[in-house]
Chain A
Amino acid sequence: MIERLKELCSLYGPSGFEDEVREYIKEFANLYADEIIEDTMGNLMVFRKGKRTSTQMIMLCAHMDEVGFIVKGITDDGMIKFGFVGGIDPRVVIGRHVRFGKVSGVVGIKAVHLTSASERKTMPKSSDLYIDIGATSKSQAEGLVELGDYGIFESRCVEFGDGLFKAKAIDDRFGCAVLMDILKDQPPVDTWFVFTVQEEVGLRGAQPATYRINPDICIVVEGTTAADLADVEKHNRVCALRNGAVIPFMDRGTIYSQEVFEKLRTIAKENNIKWQTKQMVAGGTDAGRIHLSRDGVKVCTVAAPVRYIHSPSCVAAVEDMQGVLNLVKLFLEEVK
């Protein structure tokens, strides 16, 4: 799974411009799918018959998009003014490498020598930030990027420490990797694999996709924020790396189906799969839209804990990701 995840994380897919990710997954799905649907928004829905049929329609969901940037203006000296696409923490962007298509850029900050002590204690306003693409005039910059161009963090994949993996966009290419893995081996039951767009800007893609598929049960596979860092008290850590798959009982968008939650918990326990729940009600997933669809959908999220989510350096543990994959597979085997 890690090799595929590396490829997925390297793809270009800010919310609203997921084309490269969709093409990559579609090419793969073509080998295994019984049916493939692409809708107007760009959601990719892949059906594969299982080893048996179920009385309930099962949907697995992961989002293809990642947080990114959009060009809002070009200054006279050739710098890019930009907006954030999705919930990027402005504190992590300064000094980072970004990319608009093939054009590289860096988020600038003036030299420390030119700052005052009080300036260094306050973050610059997001509206004052700018991206340097190596152009020295407006016209030169205009030849390289256009208003409305989407950008992403540029960040290589690294395996480091004791079994950790770092990349951009682990949220939620990890989920895409899990779905692709299950699709490849033929799922235990008939399953719709739904790859959504625009999760990061308000769970936009999940709504029409769920309406179309009309599932009874949905499992959202995600990356979720982990704050198991030095100096963070235990009760504030939400979840921790290497403590296993995260099965939240609720987050800020959804109270998860008690029935599915208990089922997942039982499966994890019986099969010795490490699992944890969130110790804090934080974050949200596509489930926030999915559970509201039509007559309602029983939904749960199974997530890998991810440090520094929404930054260019998301970090997840390989063992947790493997645990999520195992748990979702076993759930499909046991679903009635």
Chain B
Amino acid sequence: MDIKETLIELCEIPGISGFECKAAEYSKNLLKPYCDKVEIDRMGNVIGYRNCHKENAKTVILDAHLDQIGFIVTEVLDDGFLRFTQVGGVDPRMLLGMEVTILADKEYYGIISCMPPHLVKPSEQDKAVPMGEMVIDTGFIDIKDKIKVGTPIVYGERVRELSKGVITGKCLDDRAGIIAIVNALDKLKDEKLDVNIVVLFSVQEETSALGATIGTYKVRPDYGIAVDVGHARTPDAPSSKTFEFGGGVMIGMGPNLNTKLTKSLIKTAKREDIKYQQEIMEGHTGTNAWTMQVTALGAAMGLLSIPLKYMHTQIETIKISDLESVSELIYQFLRTFDGEVRI
């Protein structure tokens, strides 16, 4: 598969938490060639099954989330303006002057209004405008018959290649994870496996982990690998909390994650010469692994992350080689996995 093209195409399909259906349909089609069955459940999760047809085979669930952070209309004002709030965590300091797409019956273009500097008091120039004081300019004289309260809004800028092999844009968190999994399945397509694979593209990770909770409950996996994004290093972020951009797959370690599974993943990376880095997570991993670990009878979890800069902005940035190292590790691990992890 063409990773870059498919990734960009998938990222351009809007799907804020709770409104994932278009992204779900597209992802379902991505999975079809690699699964015996693909379904969309009542909450919108995409679940694909690849059976190994062996007796008492263990089941491994691979999860990545479908939803993206975004905004939602809270009030329709006069003169074509909208008030809005966030869905998922957003830093308000990057919003002024930003282009957005409002997903009503039709898509509408909008700009987050910015007060001209001459109207900003000198004492307030350094202050960030809180989101509650911002409005979106739709350019219409009256918008009340076109857009309703509760309409989702996404970043408007397009996803693109920043430099060779570096992609920048919206919702790479976690569509990059989805592509990493599909790419791993592609590599596995001619391999005979000893385990069943279930792929879960889950809804509402950014808000309540709803999709991972009900998806895991349904599947009852023995093992799970959550594929998400992690923080890559930037000049304004502490280096202790960030990882090398281009440094390869981040393998999570900590109580949320099964030690034996994690060590097997590391062993596989070493054996196959896959570039990796270890992310030590002493508590909540902030990923679907947190809920998947304790759903139903519980699952032994692993966490693989793609280093990503500027998380939750419209300029999220990843290196394709990092995404590929995640795929390669999943592939190499599952190719040889007999259903038992040993240290």
List residues of A whose CB falls within 8 A of some B CB: 75, 77, 79, 87, 89, 91-92, 94-97, 103-115, 120-124, 128, 130, 132-136, 144, 158, 160-162, 164, 166, 225, 227-232, 236, 238, 242, 280, 282-283, 307-309, 311-313, 315
Contact = CB atoms under 8 A, between A and B. Distances in A.
A95 B314 contact: yes
Enumerate the 9 nearest inter-chain pairs by beta-carbon distance, A residue then B residue, closest first.
A161-B139, A134-B163, A92-B97, A111-B311, A95-B94, A134-B162, A230-B81, A134-B166, A110-B237
A77 B232 CA distance: 12
Given A97-B157, A123-B126, A161-B140, A227 B116 contact: yes
Interface string B297-341: 000000000000111111101000000000000000000000000
A81 to B, nearest CB: 9
A112 B312 contact: yes
Nearest to A226: B116
Interface stretch (B2-10, B107-115, B219-227, B261-269): B107-115
A218 B179 CA distance: 60
Interface of B: 77-81, 89-99, 108-111, 113-119, 125-130, 133, 135, 137-141, 157, 160, 162-164, 166, 168, 231, 233-238, 241-242, 245-246, 286, 309-315, 317
Nearest to A144: B163
B114 A124 contact: no
29 contacts: A92-B97, A94-B93, A95-B314, A97-B315, A106-B162, A108-B234, A108-B309, A109-B93, A111-B237, A111-B312, A113-B286, A114-B237, A114-B241, A120-B91, A120-B93, A123-B127, A134-B317, A144-B163, A160-B108, A161-B137, A162-B80, A162-B141, A166-B109, A225-B116, A225-B118, A227-B116, A229-B81, A230-B79, A308-B116
A315 B312 CA distance: 26
A313 B99 contact: yes
Contact of A161 (B80, B89, B97): B80
B96 A91 contact: yes
B119 A96 contact: no
A229 B113 CA distance: 7
Given A104-B162, A113-B231, A123 B139 contact: no
A233 to B, nearest CB: 10
A232 B93 CA distance: 20
B93 A128 contact: no
B160 A104 contact: yes
Contacts of A94: 93-94
Contacts of B245: 136
B318 to A, nearest CB: 11
Contacts of B242: 114
Nearest to A136: B246
Given A111-B310, A158-B109, A77 B91 contact: no
A133 B90 CA distance: 23
A187 B309 CA distance: 54
A311 B94 CA distance: 13
B135 A308 contact: no
B139 A308 contact: no
Given A114-B238, A123-B128, A315-B137, 12 more contacts: A95-B95, A114-B241, A124-B93, A132-B309, A158-B99, A161-B141, A162-B141, A227-B116, A230-B77, A236-B119, A307-B113, A308-B113
